[in-house]
A and B are shown apart, each in its own frame.
Chain A
Amino acid sequence: MHAAVLVFPGSNCDRDLAVAFEKAGAKVSMVWHKDTGLPDGVDVVGVPGGFSYGDYLRCGAIAANSPICGALKEHVSRGGYALGICNGFQVLTETRLLPGALRRNAGLKYICRPVDLLVGTADSAFTAGYEAGQQITVPIAHHDGNYYADAETLQQLQAEDRIAFRYAENPNGSVGDIAGILSANRRVLGMMPHPERMAEPAHGGTDGAAMFRALLDQMVTA
């Protein structure tokens, strides 16, 4: 598997994400935001956490209009995989590759702590290593993780089994306790929690590692 990790000014989880992909056995290329294309043979694009462009205007809004995001959209339209974590999830909603938006946390505070998640579906390359309903612990670290989608979109996400993760206890006001969602073709995942920060024993837990392993398994057998 060949993973590309996008790097924007202000990204700060790009190397953590690269390490998580590498530990699972992937080849990783770091790709600068001004690049207009992805390296040949990229299977999955990782959009990392951080504060791209200082969160100016809206979180993820400037990054979503950067040159590399044009290449990201082409990759996804060809059926390529993409994983957006935290600021990466915000970028994926701003590009409209995923529906909805992420608002300021309901409690207005930046929240940085491990949270319990419930796996919503095992039916995706990202979540195939879990069982639906399984509880895992992964950290969150965000100020704007309050997921919003209108009632119609929410119903569609539920009907199509596209809610990848829910919070066991809602920390930020997200509708439907949503922590992560899948695209209609199930190949794009956006989530606020950080699986790459819970991917080896030194992190204090390894619940996030299964996502990267599952993704690799999917690519190897595909």
Chain B
Amino acid sequence: MKARVHVMLKNGVLDPQGEAVKHALGALGFQGVEGVRQGKVIELELADGTTEATVRDMCERLLANTVIESYTVELG
């Protein structure tokens, strides 16, 4: 089975990379880009039967720094 973890900076934590991407899109002539947030996707190959709770534990302990980042887990 697979799990996909999305890690994003929490709302309210400045994302300088997202801001830079927003400016670059504006410079390319794209109108109306009002905000960009950049995160990361981590794909996990897991033994069948691994629970969502286990994946969330992985997120809490390593994959995300919950001081500044939030995460979501997609299974399957």
Tell whether B17 is near chain A: CB-to-CB under 8 Å.
Answer: yes
Type the 1/0 row for B40-76, where 1 means its CB is closer than 8 Å to any CB of A: 0000000000000000000001110101100000000
Question: How big is chain A's contact interface, by range?
Answer: 10 to 19
A-B residue pair count with CB separations less than 8 angstroms: 35
Interface residues of B, CB < 8 Å — how many? 12
Residue A184 is within 8 A (CB to CB) of chain B in the complex: no
CB pair B13–A148 under 8 Å, yes or no, is yes
Asked if A94 CB lies within 8 Å of chain B CBs, one says: yes
* CB–CB B16/A106 < 8 A: yes
Asked whether, in the complex, the Cβ of A106 is within 8 Å of the Cβ of B62, the reply is no
Cross-interface CB contact of B67 among A101, A104, A108, A146, cutoff 8 Å: A101
List residues of B (3-37) whose CB comes within 8 Å of A's CBs. Answer: 9, 13-14, 16-17, 20
Q: Give A159-191 as 1s and 0s: 1 = Cβ < 8 Å from B's Cβ atoms.
A: 000000000000001000000000000000000
Q: Nearest-CB distance from B34 to chain A (Å)?
A: 20
B46 to chain A minimum Cβ distance, whole angstroms, is 18
**A103:B13 contact, CB within 8 angstroms:** yes
B16 near A108: Cβ-Cβ < 8 Å: yes
Question: Per a CB cutoff under 8 Å, which of B16, B61, B62, B65 touches A101?
Answer: B65
Min Cβ gap A33→B in Å is 16
* 30 sample A-B contacts, Cβ–Cβ < 8 Å, listed by A number: A57-B62, A57-B63, A58-B65, A61-B62, A65-B62, A93-B67, A94-B65, A99-B67, A100-B67, A101-B67, A101-B68, A103-B9, A103-B13, A103-B14, A103-B16, A103-B68, A104-B17, A105-B16, A106-B14, A106-B16, A107-B16, A108-B16, A108-B17, A108-B20, A146-B16, A148-B13, A148-B67, A148-B68, A149-B67, A173-B14
Apart from A103-B14, A148-B68, what are 20 other A-B pairs with CB-CB below 8 Å? A57-B63, A58-B65, A61-B62, A61-B65, A65-B61, A93-B67, A94-B65, A99-B67, A100-B67, A103-B13, A103-B16, A103-B68, A106-B14, A106-B16, A108-B17, A108-B20, A148-B13, A148-B67, A173-B14, A173-B16
- B residues with CB within 8 A of A: 9, 13-14, 16-17, 20, 61-63, 65, 67-68
